[in-house]
Structure 1
Amino acid sequence: MHEVGYHRVVHNTFLIFLSVIIIQCSYADPLNVTVPQSRLTAARGHSVILGCEFSPVFGKNPDISSLVLTWQRKEDNRVVHSFYYEQNQLNTQNFAYQNRTSLFRNQLNKGNASVKIDNVGVQDAGHYLCIVSTNQGTDRAELQLDYGAFYTEPRLTISVDSSDISVQYETEGFPAPEVMWKGGHGENLSEQTTTSMQSDEGMGLYHIKSSYTAPNKPLNFTFILKNQLLHQHLQRPVIISGKQLTK
């Protein structure tokens, strides 16, 4: 009877221990993937970091063998960057992103799943998915990347004849800007100006030509261009004196 009682106690102890494990597993935190910013803007030729975080993290444990991280385009499922078996899987990467992406390898165990994209172009605009899998499960988060290009330094051309003066500025950037001309006292000169915008979709640029025509006399005015997306504000004052009016 004593031996039977002993085995019964051992059996009950095992069941209690097993129950504790099951309860702990059932209350383990599920994997959660988030993005700090759901919408980002990147400038042509620059780099951008698509932020992504996951928890629970591996903590001080350097073993990330269970981590599978994939960045892909939502529109067409193109793979931007993939990581598993503790290394980058560049053979799965879409050719458009080759040699342009990188992870923060030493921060993966801390939950940093961000990817850096270099030399941004118009083709990079769109929606991205950050997909993470660990022993805690699988989760994903989405963000949108907008594209812009800073407008180049406006190129000035001045033409003078016996009756008129024509001043033209040319520049390239993206998206379509707000263009205006103002007189020396801040007055709007739009009635004397013409602006053309030609889009190069492949390059992701607008080619802007804006000109102001006035009678042949001393002038003081300002060309203004605003790229609201990139918070770019260009002002180029033009002063034409009497010495410049002879052809």
Structure 2
Amino acid sequence: MELLPLVCLCLLSCSGDAVRVVVEEDSDAVLPCFPVTKRNLTGQFFDWRKDDQNEVFMYDAGSHYNNGRTGQDEQFKGRVSHFQDQLKNGNASIKIHKTKMADSGIYSCIFPDLQSQTSIIELVVDQVLRDRTGEVSGAAPEPCIRTLYDKLLWRLLQCEAHGDPRPTLKWEDSDNKTLTAEEPKISERGGRFYVTVKTTVTKTDNYSCVATQETLSHQVAAAIPVYIQGEIL
């Protein structure tokens, strides 16, 4: 029998008949479901719903949302699969691919023909820092990088970003090490915060300016290659 695939960053904890599944945003989540009495489910009917109203996945003796059956909620179309080869072992679990914050909620796995047996699963999708430009109001666009001075042994770089809430900026080298930088200069206009940070580099490398807005779970970066002519190797 093929085992359920392991899902990274997924934590299962049981409390009575309830199961809690925690995953990071954009990862896959397996929601487990097995009837009390182990039986072959290939010819059975079971239905997955979210918050008692949204149709997540329905299976009826081989007919399901991924092979022509209609009625699935738009939120889950093309993102939910079951384990066909494990139905004979009594496994009605499903996998939600590339989870979103909106997927968090209470899921029910129902067997109407098996004395209405129901499994309850709580899915929690943890938000992660990523580029949400264009998705979230106020998210900072890609930072603007400029070279202010280009000398033989050093270069002065400037990074500017704007957004609301105020973004924090940091400079990093190609090893993702944070560079020493000047105190940021902050101004406000048009309902957005403008932040400027300067740093002086003395080595040839690729440098990045990273803008972060923690409350929006938004992070975006821009990079610039730097060649120091007089660098002593």
Per the normalisation by structure 1, the TM-score is: 0.49
Question: What is the match of residue 165 of structure 1?
Answer: 156
Q: Does residue 110 in structure 1 map to residue 115 in structure 2? A: no
CA distance in 1, matches of 2:17, 2:47: 11
* CA displacement 1:188-214 (0-9 Å, x = unmatched): 647236699xxxxxxxxxxxx975225
Question: What is the match of residue 107 of structure 2?
Answer: 129
**1:93, CA displacement in angstroms?**
0.5
Q: What is the aligned length?
A: 179
* CA displacement 1:98-154 (0-9 Å, x = unmatched): 2332111221232432222335455x43214032215254223122242446459x8
CA distance in 1, matches of 2:50, 2:83: 20
Equivalence map 1:69-218=2 (5 Å): 69-70=47-48, 72-74=49-51, 77-89=53-65, 90-121=69-100, 124-133=102-111, 134-146=113-125, 147-148=127-128, 150-151=130-131, 157-161=145-149, 165-168=156-159, 180-181=170-171, 189=181, 191-192=183-184, 211-214=196-199
Q: Does the residue aligned with 1:191 lie in a helix, a strand or coil? A: coil
User: Contact 2:159/2:209 (CA < 8 Å) preserved in 1?
Assistant: no
Give unmatched runs, 5+ long, in structure 2.
Answer: 1-15, 133-141, 189-193
Cα 1:188–1:42 change in 2 (3 A) is: same
Question: What is the match of residue 54 of structure 1?
Answer: 34
User: Contact 1:104/1:112 (CA < 8 Å) preserved in 2?
Assistant: yes
Give unmatched runs, 5+ long, in structure 1.
Answer: 1-31, 171-175, 197-208
User: Contact 1:192/1:213 (CA < 8 Å) preserved in 2?
Assistant: yes
User: Contact 1:129/1:142 (CA < 8 Å) preserved in 2?
Assistant: yes
CA distance in 2, matches of 1:118, 1:67: 22
RMSD of aligned alpha carbons: 5.0
CA distance in 2, matches of 1:150, 1:69: 33
Equivalence map 1:215-230=2 (5 Å): 219=202
Identity of aligned residues (%): 12
Per the normalisation by structure 2, the TM-score is: 0.52
Determine which structure has more spread, i.e. the larger CA radius of gyration: 1
CA distance in 2, matches of 1:157, 1:33: 54
User: Contact 2:143/2:209 (CA < 8 Å) preserved in 1?
Assistant: no
Cα 1:186–1:166 change in 2 (3 A) is: closer
